[in-house]
Amino acid sequence: MKRMTMSTGLALISAIFASALAAPALAAPARSSGDFEEVHAYWSNGQLPATFHLAITMTVDGDTVSYRGVNSTDKDHPHLATWSGVTDGKRTAFDGGYFDHMALMKTGPDEFMIEKYRNGDLVVGEFWRYDAAGDEWVRHGVVARAAADGTSKSYIEVFKRKK
């Protein structure tokens, strides 16, 4: 039977310790993940519907960000939007109706830039930031060319965690 040397034993203990530290980070999405509801919104074009309501699910897991939004402003016809991608900044194909490509980039801790393209043109740019103190997501965005009427707008939306 082979005996373990001191350096082999230390290497084994170090590997086990490193694995134990990494496991929680790999096992669960970030604290910013969860279900959130819009509590404040501003649109620069003044056309924010009085009944505007958007509930979102954000999942940040390693280098992947996923979004699911249900816009129930029109309660009879809610609109569902989903996207997911790696935060590597590369433009990838996206089947999202109005958009056909998107790029996601991590710009800081709990901060992301999302670019949405149509026919090669950047049509929406968004900056998402998770505020741990308020347990909320804040989205700042610009629509370069709105789908319906060809105008543009900027917007700010705040989403608080659902309790």
Q: Is the dihedral of CA 10, 15, 16, 18 positive or negative?
A: positive
- Quick check: is 79 in a domain? yes
- Decide if 10 is inside a domain: no
| 58 and 36 Cβ atoms separated by less than 8 Å | yes
In a domain? residue 2 = no
Does 36 fall in a domain?
Answer: yes
Structure-token match 């801790």, residue found:
109
For residue 15, being part of any structural domain is answered with no
Instruction: For residue 77, give its domain range.
Output: 29-161
Tell me whether residue 71 is in a domain.
yes
For 38-75, the pLDDT digits (tens) are 999 999 999 999 999 999 999 999 999 999 999 999 99
Lowest mean pLDDT among 32-46, 73-87, 94-108, 120-134: 94-108
Quick one: average pLDDT of 118-138? 94
Does residue 39 fall inside a structural domain? yes
Give the model's pLDDT for residue 10. Answer: 44
Question: When comparing pLDDT for 149 and 47, which is higher?
Answer: 47
Identify the CATH number of the domain in which residue 92 sits.
2.40.128.20
The tokens describing 86, both together, are 């790696």
Euclidean distance between CA atoms 158 and 48, whole angstroms: 14
Instruction: Name which of 29, 26, 53, 33 is nearest 41 in CA terms.
Output: 53
Number of structural domains the chain divides into: 1
